[in-house]
Structure 1
Amino acid sequence: MTISAYIDGIGLLGPGLNGWPSAQSILLGQQTYQPSKTVLPSPILLPTAERRRSGAVIKLTLAAGLEAIAASGQEAKKLASVFSLSGGDGENCHAICEMLASEDRAISPTRFHNSVHNAAAGYWGIATGAMTNASVLSAFDASFGAGLLEAMVQVVVDDTHTLLLACDTPYPEPLHSTRPITDAFGIALVLAPKGSKHSFAHISVAMTDACANTLNDSALENLRLGIPAARGLPLLEAIATRQNARVVLDYLDNCRLDVTITPC
């Protein structure tokens, strides 16, 4: 079975990749990729109190998501959304574990509030005014593929625009040694049921047992392997070529995603 949609907006933020326009030349090998720590912008759309409480996941989803929406010509408050994270807010998780290991085991309400897996979706609604459906999922290293499938199924079944936000942030030590995520990274895609003047490409997805595509640049390949959300980089590379392309994306151990891209 194959499902299809149009990509109307792209957002990207990660180590040395600061937005989709500048990242395209890097993905095409026209500019040398220079890894640098991800800088997360302040979530200025949030009210002051929520802005102060927001962690890395909130800042990352807002930055990537708003870039994709701006390119799509859509209104954030009218879009259904799919949030796909391999884990959760690593810094918040670390802080809660420290509290539980201390003599004073009282967890602050803010820490508890931000510990739930749908916290990013809640902050997104506050920032954008969105009251549409928001799905939140986690599939460990398969989270980008799972999020892409969920978002595309919503587009096809509900005949509606859907925003995919696939993001990950690192854990501090000692959790990092058990779950090493190298840096904060996020990909956002606005997916549409029909093409428009904003469409970058038509995308079709099916299942395959073929091996996943890798990236020729060793530093970018390390990034792809080091952060689950970055498993979507071969898809962005294919879009950047502005040519017909087929890529295989990591998903489950014995099942990958066969993706066909046709530029618009």
Structure 2
Amino acid sequence: MLSATIEGIGFWNRGLPSWDAARAFAAGGALPDAAASRPSPQLLAPNERRRAPDTVAVALEVALAACNAAGRDPKTLPSVFASTHGELAITDYICATLATQPEAVSPTRFHNSVHNAAAGYWTIGSGAMQPATAISAFDASFAQGLLEAMVQLAAGSEAVLLVGYDATSAGPLAAVSHSEGLLGGALVLSRTPNVNVPQLQVELVDGAVDRLAGGPLSRHAHGNAMAQMLPLFDALAVAGNPAPVVLPAGAGRVLRVAIEAAITEHAYA
């Protein structure tokens, strides 16, 4: 059993551009008016912000929101970035271009195609010199990212940033691994006890996940590949002590997550 404190939360999805908006939606089903159609991560210079792929934009948006909510300097935190696909649209573009006109492959798009692109943009934009990890484990990506972050805490890190994100899948692979929309969520986890914010306990066990389970956030963004993380965010959005959630963690394995304290109104931005 591994334990941690959630110091800060970040969230972005269509119509829900912040954790406050996500909590309000989970409580009452209302979407805010005139929500931005794309994140605008302030860590990047305006030109870089416009050129950054959607996955990078949403990952940096929620990462910075979680750090701000936690009151942590982003450059001081080791980070774990979990994504099922990375930037699949760019991967599809590169494959199609190599098959038809290989000399026309864009160097800029190539460097954005690597799975750790978001982690790289984050370390550059935040000035972080701490270790950054990029994880993909298909529909177990978020659970394995959470497990990695918890293990880093158990191994001595004071706090760790965890980011999960995915975008719309494209090309032939979309038929194999479907994903819709843009979704990102982030947690700043620490070893510091605090009774005013949620405490997590996680345990890797044998089992399977009920695919029908999930609350308002899970239903709102169910088509995204990172919807695997949403039962946890649904539970965190509920006042009081919710029931444990179970996240897919690989073939025949699940990550059981118990939330031990309620969220207070002043804890998160």
Report which stretch shifted further, 136-145 or 48-57: 48-57
Distance across 1 between alignment mates of 2:185 and 2:202: 17
Instruction: Give the 4+ runs in structure 1 shifted more than 6 A.
Output: none
Name which of 132, 135, 147 aligns with 1:134: 132
Question: Residues 7 and 200 of structure 1 are in contact (CA less than 8 Å); yes or no, is this contact kept in structure 2?
Answer: yes
- What is the identity percentage for the equivalent residue pairs of Structure 1 and Structure 2? 38
Query: How many Å separate the matches in 1 of 2:36 and 2:227?
Result: 13
Q: Give the structure 2 partner of residue 250 of structure 1.
A: 248
TM-score, scaled to structure 2: 0.87
Whether the aligned pair in 1 keeps the contact of 2:197 and 2:261 (CA below 8 Å) is yes
Please tell me whether residue 209 in structure 1 is matched to residue 209 in structure 2.
no
For the 8 Å contact 1:76–1:128, the answer to whether it is kept is: yes
1:101 aligns with 2:99: yes
- The separation in 1 between residues aligned to 2:44 and 2:159, in whole angstroms, is 24
**Unaligned regions of 5+ residues in structure 2, if any?**
263-269
Matching residue of 2:261: 263
The one of 181, 189, 193 equivalent to 2:191 is: 193
Q: Please say if 1:20 is aligned against 2:39.
A: no
TM-score by length of 1: 0.88
1:201/1:261 contact within 8 Å kept: yes
**SS of equivalent residue, structure 2 residue 254:** strand
Quick one: distance in 1 between partners of 2:249 and 2:43?
A: 33
1:159-238 equivalences under 5 Å are 159-196=157-194, 200-212=197-209, 214-217=213-216, 220-221=218-219, 223-224=221-222, 226-238=223-235
CA positional deviation for 1:140: 0.7
CA offsets, 1:157-213, max 9 Å, x none?
12311000111111223432232101111110000101248x620000012335536
Structure 1 residues 133 and 94, CA gap change in structure 2 (3 angstroms): same
- Report which stretch shifted further, 201-210 or 43-52: 43-52
Gaps of 5+ in 1: none
Pick one of 149, 153, 156 that aligns with 1:158.
156
| Deviation digits for residues 47-74 of structure 1 (CA, Å, limit 9, x no counterpart) | 3553343111110111111111110000
Matched positions, count: 258
Shift in Å, 1:263: 1.4
Describe the SS at the equivalent of 1:105.
Answer: helix
CA distance in 2, matches of 1:11, 1:234: 15
